[in-house]
Every structure is written in structure tokens, then in C-alpha cells.
Amino acid sequence: MAAQSEWYSIIGSSMSGRLAGKVAVVTGGASGIGEGIVRRFSTEGARVLLADLDEANGTAIAAECGAEFVTLDVTSVESWQALETKTKADFGRLDIMVNNAGIVSNLDITAVTLEVWQRLINVNLTGVMLGCQTAISLMRGHPAGETGSIINMASSTSYLAIPDVAYTTSKAGVVGLTKSVAVHCANEGFNIRCNSIHPGATLTAILKTAIEQMPEVEEACKRMSPLNRMGTVEEVAAMAVFLASDEASFCTGGQYAVEGGTVSQHPRM
């Protein structure tokens, strides 16, 4: 965490305040890509609600970067309702929703249980749907009119499957959900955009731990991309900043890959 904090302090002076004055919610913001987005949004001038079940890490990260922690179970309608009420009361608006919270199972079709399947789909897909509903409700009440940006975290597995059947299915579902939300908002005349981000192998703290335990994982992850390296949390966060900003005003229903060409190259001999 210290190294990441140092990185943000170094780049902070060069940030342009692209999200100045905007209010953002980032789910799953207590670790990994979500944490990176919280930190980057904060440096860009956004007022950020870090929403997660991990109170210890979430509170610490929020304190470091000037965000605010809020407990959120993305599978719970009541939890989303509480978040909506708080956002209205504290800010009177919502400009950006990042539906990032997600889990994996590492179980294939022959091993996955119904309980595991339902849990993963509830978090990775139903949680995103509830986040989109909440975002649209808040954004329709925006003081500047019906406006905002919804960003859903998908995956390179939305294009190319892995054996983790529930994860692959959920991330493919995020694509359809995102496009449906985008066209609905456009057809209704709302200036509410909805896009998905598709990371590839990304060097998060969890992956760093796995590499420490199994060094061979590093080379395997690097080989996934023709660039022969993993992506960084900061690179994914940079895409989120673009989609959240007014610079992406004509972008909706899109799939934005941050995976180093992983899904573009035919497997080599």
C-alpha cells in the first residue's frame, strides 16, 4: 500500500482535476482495481464513496485519499437503498457509479455447486444490475438534469472463456447488461452513459501474493499478452477516469479493453 500511495503522490501534481466537483461511488473499493480507482478518482477531484464489506481496509484507504467509506452488500436491495439515501442526503447528486465488486470461484462446470454458482452470479451480475438501477435513480435526480456515467467492470473473459464457469458467465452477462442499460437511457433521452471495462491479467496485491507463493505464475500471466507483461491497477483506473469524465460524452454501450492485446492475437505455435 505504501508503494501505491507513493505512486499517487508522485502523479498527483500532474493531475488535471478531470473529475473536479463530481460525486462517485466505487463498489469493491477496498482492494485491487477498485482501490486504484478510488485513489485515482480522488486525485482527479471527485468526492468518492468507497463502498465495500471490508470495513477495515475500506476505512483505511478512504482516510488516506480523502474518500468516505460506506458499508455495502451489492447483493442486497436494502443495502443499495441505504446507499441511495445516504448519497442523496450527503451530496444531493451522483455523477459516477463504478460497479467493480466481484468474486471468483475457480470451479469448472463439473465441479461448481449450485450454491457457489448462485453466490457468484449474485455478486458479479445481479450486484451490477442493482448498482445500475441505483445509479439511474440518483442520476435522474441530478441538479443539472438526467446525467451521469455508469462504469461496469467486466473482464477479458467476456471475450475468451476460462474454466471458471460462473465467473466467465457472469462477466459475459455484464456486457449484455451494460449495453441494455446504455440503450435504455439513450432511448429515454437521459444523458446517462453506461460502459464496461475489460481488464486482463492485472498486477493487484492479491496476484502479487500468489506470485510470491508460486513464482511461475508471473511468467504465465505475462505470456497472456503480446506485450509480454501484466497490466497495472493504475492503467485500469486511467480508463475509468476517461469514461467517468466529460471527455467520454459520446461513449455509451462500449467495451473498453485494458488487456494488452490478449484477445486480439491468435494463439502462437
Classify burial at 59, counting beta carbons within 10 Å of its beta carbon; exposed 0-12, middle 13-18, buried 19 or more. Answer: middle
Half-sphere exposure of 233 (CA within 13 A, CB side): 25
Per the residue annotation, which of 8, 159, 167, 256 is the catalytic one? 167
196 backbone dihedrals φ, ψ, rounded to 5°: -120, 145
**215 to 50, 209, 221, 222, 231: CA distances (angstroms):** 32, 10, 11, 12, 17
CA 234 – CA 231 distance, rounded (Å): 8
Is 256 catalytic? The answer is no
Neighbours of 116 (CB within 10 A): 16
DSSP state, residue 202: B
Judge contact between 238 and 245, C-beta under 8 A: no
Element (H, E) at 152: strand 147-153
Q: Which residues, in sequence order, are CB contacts of 131 under 8 Å at separation 6+?
A: 25, 27, 74, 80, 97, 99, 150, 152
Q: Note the Cα 30 to chain centre separation in Å.
A: 12
The residues assigned a catalytic role are 167
